[in-house]
């Protein structure tokens, strides 16, 4: 019985890039008490694998959070598969805005302590007392109210390439880090209308309940997040208040929502909002790079990483033990926050 992928990742990436199969990228989440997470995980894997689903899914005792890619002709079967699980019945699918069908190359389902690392003690407050959900029209109306504070619940590398007009964008690297920072920022504005948003809605589900618990009176959250907002403004011909790109956690790394380019290449400062990972696997920094710098640095974040990639495999293996790169430990870059010219020491 197949419960895990057994094919080399690079081979799977090659197959995905060469495939002409039409696929649809979907994100979803559901908070629900799951007693036997391992049993559910294995059942869910078998259910999705037979439909050709690829993606990344987290299962915890508090629920499920996933981003997947499914063969487009089998979307009806996918919905039926979800509906065969009682607590998934009627679950909202967030369909990608820009989608080439190449967002994932394998199916991974992991059991975790939480489906979202929030650092909160759920027993200390009622997670069901969430904020008021608003659609795109409601969001736009609230955004025009001078008594409204708009809060982006995402991380710095997400907000750098795109965010709503007039939103507060905390300079944080994790959702866990953002909650106490935002609370301190808004301590004197608990009577204001707090309008929060994130990519697909999951972060706001927990954050809105937390902020209500902490004394904020009027908490609102964008239903379905930026992804659903983009679909609604297009379908309903509404003003699009989102600037730039929506960062996504798959092979695409972003989808265009607004026409503006609000970010800069981290290496030369040219207008650019294309996220990449450094081609040096010992670094793997997530950063923004324009085409010219990609050519100059051979898809690396620095001259050091470029030089490292030119070494033979034995030298690279040896230097991995001592060298520190921009993205060591999977860092996320900030504009001009890393040294693109630092030198590789091979003495």
The first and second tokens of residue 199, run together, are: 């990519």
Beta carbons within 8 Å of 326's beta carbon, 6+ residues apart: 278, 283, 285, 287, 301, 302, 305, 333, 338, 339
Of 43, 76, 111, which one is at a domain's C-terminal end?
Answer: 111
Q: Quick one: 144 and 229 in the same domain?
A: yes
What CA dihedral angle connects 164, 170, 171 and 177, to 10 degrees?
-130
- Give the separation between CA 253 and CA 268, rounded to whole angstroms: 20
Euclidean distance between CA atoms 235 and 233, whole angstroms = 6
User: Would you say residue 116 lies in a domain?
Assistant: no
248 in a structural domain = no
131, 225: one domain = yes
Q: Does residue 104 contact residue 53 with C-beta atoms inside 8 Å? A: no
Enumerate the active-site residues: 198
Whether residue 291 lies inside any domain: the answer is yes
The CATH number of the domain holding residue 200 is 3.40.250.10
Does 162 fall in a domain?
A: yes
CA–CA dist 337, 331 (Å, integer) = 11
The stretches in the chain having pLDDT less than 50 are: 346-347
Sign, CA dihedral 306-327-167-239, equals: positive
Q: Give the bridge partners for 250, in sequence order.
A: none
Sign of the alpha-carbon torsion through 12, 14, 19, 25:
positive
Summarised one tens digit per residue, pLDDT across range 256-298 is 999 999 999 999 999 999 999 999 999 999 999 999 999 999 9
The whole-number pLDDT of residue 13 equals 77
Answer yes or no: are the C-beta atoms of 134 and 142 closer than 8 Å: yes
Q: 81 and 181 share a domain?
A: no
228 and 161 in a common domain: yes
Structure tokens belonging to residue 30: 């559901």
Closest by CA to 204, choosing from 121, 91, 116, 144, is 116
Cα 53 from Cα 67, distance rounded (Å): 10
pLDDT value for 190: 87
Give the list of residues 6+ apart from residue 75 with CB closer than 8 angstroms, or none: 24
In this structure, how many other beta carbons lie within 10 angstroms of the beta carbon of residue 28? 20
Residues 229 and 273 reside in one and the same domain:
no
> Residue 77 in 3-state DSSP?
helix
Looking at the domain assignment, is residue 319 inside a domain? yes
Q: Which two tokens stand for residue 133?
A: 């959900």
Does 159 lie in the same domain as 184? yes
Hey, which residues does 202 pair with through a beta bridge?
none
Other beta carbons within 10 angstroms of residue 141's beta carbon come to 12
Q: Are residues 194 and 160 in the same domain?
A: yes
Domain containing 146: what range? 124-235
216 and 282 inside one domain? no
3 found inside a domain: no
Residues 214 and 176 in one domain: yes
Same domain? 74 vs 129: no
In a domain, 252, yes or no: no
Last residue within a domain, chosen from 90, 111, 132: 111
Secondary structure element (H or E) that encloses residue 213, with its range: helix 202-213
> Looking at the structure, do residues 138 and 229 belong to the same domain, yes or no?
yes
Q: Which of 65, 82, 111 is the last residue of a domain?
A: 111
Alpha-carbon distances of 180 from 104, 153, 187, 215, rounded to whole Å:
33, 12, 10, 13
Q: Output the pTM of the full model.
A: 0.87
Residue 169 is predicted with a pLDDT of 95
CA–CA–CA angle 48, 206, 185 (5° rounding) = 140
CATH number, residue 48 = 3.30.70.100
Which pairing describes strands 275-277 and 286-288: parallel, antiparallel, or unpaired?
antiparallel
Predicted confidence at residue 345, as pLDDT, reads 53
Q: From the CB of residue 343, how many other CB atoms can be counted at a distance below 10 Å? A: 10
Instruction: Give SS3 for 17.
Output: helix
Count of structural domains, the chain? 3
* One domain, residues 282 and 337: yes
Q: Is residue 240 part of a domain?
A: no
């Amino acid at each position: 019985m197949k419960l895990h992928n057994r094919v080399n990742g690079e081979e799977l990436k090659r197959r995905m890039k060469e495939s002409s199969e039409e696929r649809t990228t979907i994100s979803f989440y559901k908070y629900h008490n799951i007693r036997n997470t391992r049993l559910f995980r294995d059942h869910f894997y078998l259910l999705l694998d037979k439909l050709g689903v690829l993606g990344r899914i987290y299962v915890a005792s508090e629920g499920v959070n996933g981003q997947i890619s499914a063969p487009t002709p089998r979307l009806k079967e996918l919905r039926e598969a979800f509906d065969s699980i009682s607590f998934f019945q009627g679950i909202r699918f967030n369909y990608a805005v820009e989608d080439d069908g190449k967002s994932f190359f394998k199916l991974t389902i992991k059991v975790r302590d939480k489906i979202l690392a929030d650092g909160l003690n759920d027993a200390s407050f009622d997670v069901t007392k969430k904020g008021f959900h608003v659609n795109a029209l409601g969001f736009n109306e609230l955004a025009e109210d001078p008594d409204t504070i708009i809060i982006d619940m995402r991380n710095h590398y997400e907000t750098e390439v795109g965010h709503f007009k007039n939103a507060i964008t905390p300079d944080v690297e994790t959702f866990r880090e953002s909650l106490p920072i935002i609370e301190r920022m808004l301590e004197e504005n608990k009577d204001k209308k707090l309008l929060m948003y994130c990519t697909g809605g999951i972060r706001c589900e927990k954050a809105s309940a937390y902020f209500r618990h902490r004394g904020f009176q009027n908490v609102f959250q964008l239903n379905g997040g930026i992804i659903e907002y983009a679909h609604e403004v297009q379908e309903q011909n509404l003003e699009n208040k989102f600037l730039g790109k929506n960062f996504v956690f798959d092979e695409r790394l972003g989808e265009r929502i607004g026409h503006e380019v609000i970010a800069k290449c981290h290496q030369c400062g040219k207008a650019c909002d294309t996220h990449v990972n450094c081609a040096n696997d010992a670094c793997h920094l997530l950063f923004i790079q324009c085409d010219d710098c990609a050519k100059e640095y051979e898809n690396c974040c620095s001259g050091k990483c470029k030089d490292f990639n030119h070494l033979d495999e034995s030298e690279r293996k040896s230097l991995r033990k001592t060298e520190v790169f921009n993205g060591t430990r999977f860092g996320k870059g900030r504009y001009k926050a890393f040294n693109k010219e630092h030198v590789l020491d091979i003495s």
